[in-house]
Amino acid sequence: MSEQTIFAKIIRKEIPAAIVYENERILAFKDIAPQAPTHILVIPKKALADVAAAKEDDAALLGELLLSAAHIAKEQGLTDYRIVINNGAEAGQTVFHLHLHLLGGRPMRWPPG
Ligand code: AMP
């Protein structure tokens, strides 16, 4: 059976999203509830629940996720930005398809909540 997360449906174009970048392996789209002036989600098209589910075979894909985020940040005119991956419910993960948050356009505080 195909993956049923909301992001899988976005990958399959079953539901709309504001897509900002796409290639054969990666999709990036605007977060529906932005936490910063720029808030983009960068996801692999491969069904991986979280970063912990990635295997050695996925090393290139994980690298491409980060490089894609940097490319998109530049395209969006960002020089300073934060990249976040929530792994697991207690860490704040709500959608169990691996995704990287690219946040920018405002000062960021540390530590995160
Ligand atoms: P996380 O809490 O790390 O799992 O992040 C999931 C993110 O997905 C949240 O920031 C949500 O606002 C975002 N989100 C959920 N549904 C959609 C959607 N249909 N389109 C865009 N972003 C979404």
Tell me the CA–centroid distance for residue 95 and ligand 1, in Å. 7
Domain locations along the chain: 6-104
In the predicted structure, residue 1 carries a pLDDT above the cut 70: no
Which pLDDT score is estimated for 68?
98
pLDDT for 110 equals 96
Minimal-distance CA residue to ligand 1 atom 13: 31
- pTM recorded for the entire structure: 0.98
For the domain made up of 6-104, give the CATH fold.
HIT family, subunit A (3.30.428)
How do residues 19-38 score in pLDDT, each as one tens digit?
999 999 999 999 999 999 99
Length of the chain measured in residues = 113
pLDDT of 41 reads 99
* Separation of CA 3 and ligand 1 centre (Å): 16
Read off the pLDDT of residues 61-84 as tens digits, 9 standing for 90 and up: 999 999 999 999 999 999 999 999
